[in-house]
Amino acid sequence: MGSLRRIAPIFTVRDVTASLDYYRRLGFATREYAGGGYGFVTRDDVEIHVGQVPDGDPRAIRGLAYLWVDDADDLAAAWRVAGADVREPQDTDWGQHEGVLIDPDGNIIRFGSPAGESAAGGTATGSPPRSPGHAGRGRRGPTDTAKPGDEP
């Protein structure tokens, strides 16, 4: 059986152009599909797709992704400077230092680096986050959903 090499979550959005502009401000390269209604957001080896919802409320179909990063604090600071809705990274019971980014369409990117380590003195990878059933004592797990205005 072949191995899996990467994944690209697809976030539903109200306006592809506005979504691409938002992610561009956060340091991502963006490209809109020539046929319209779809776009691509990339940074380093990470890719996210955005697709416009033709009918209905896209908040009912939020996307969620988890990014393993070198330094969660550094990324959170850079995204805050760009005007993003970012929840401050906190240490978790599963050994990650995690934050949350919520885009204007309610899509959630949880991001984390190994707890107690930074890009300068630690490793770029860590243990994967636990499953949703193991979120631990009152803190959200990596796949729990958050809503704008929620505290992590």
The reported pLDDT for the residue numbered 150 is 42
- Please check whether residue 152 lies inside any domain of the structure: no
Q: What is the pTM of this model?
A: 0.60
- Please check whether residue 3 lies inside any domain of the structure: no
Q: Tell me the DSSP string of 18-86.
A: HHHHHHHHTT-EEEE-TTSSEEEEEETTEEEEEEE-SSS-GGGG--EEEEE-S-HHHHHHHHHHTT-EE
Q: Closest Cα to residue 103, out of 91, 87, 123?
A: 87
The CA distance from 14 to 17, in Å, is 9
The reported pLDDT for the residue numbered 121 is 43
The reported pLDDT for the residue numbered 118 is 53
The reported pLDDT for the residue numbered 135 is 32
How much of the chain exceeds pLDDT 70, in percent? 69
Q: What is the pLDDT of residues 25-80, one digit of tens each?
A: 999 999 999 988 999 999 999 999 998 887 766 556 678 888 889 999 999 999 99
Measure Cα distances from 76 to 6, 79, 84, 152 in Å: 23, 5, 9, 14
Give backbone dihedrals phi and psi of 57, rounded to 5 degrees, phi first.
-100, 115
Q: Which residue did the predictor score with more confidence, 123 or 17?
A: 17
| Polymer length in residues for the chain | 152
The reported pLDDT for the residue numbered 80 is 96
- Please check whether residue 1 lies inside any domain of the structure: no
Q: Contact at 8 Å (CB) between 39 and 49?
A: yes
pLDDT at 8 over 60: yes
- Please check whether residue 144 lies inside any domain of the structure: no
- Please check whether residue 24 lies inside any domain of the structure: yes
- Please check whether residue 25 lies inside any domain of the structure: yes
The CATH number linked to 96 is 3.10.180.10
Task: Give the Cβ contact number of residue 117 at 10 Å.
Answer: 16
The total domain count for the chain is: 1
Supply the range of the domain harboring residue 26.
10-134
- Please check whether residue 149 lies inside any domain of the structure: no
Q: How confident is the model at residue 127 (pLDDT cuts 50, 70, 90)?
A: very low
Average pLDDT of the residues of the chain? 77
- Please check whether residue 80 lies inside any domain of the structure: yes
Q: How confident is the model at residue 1 (pLDDT cuts 50, 70, 90)?
A: low
Q: Which residue did the predictor score with more confidence, 119 or 110?
A: 110
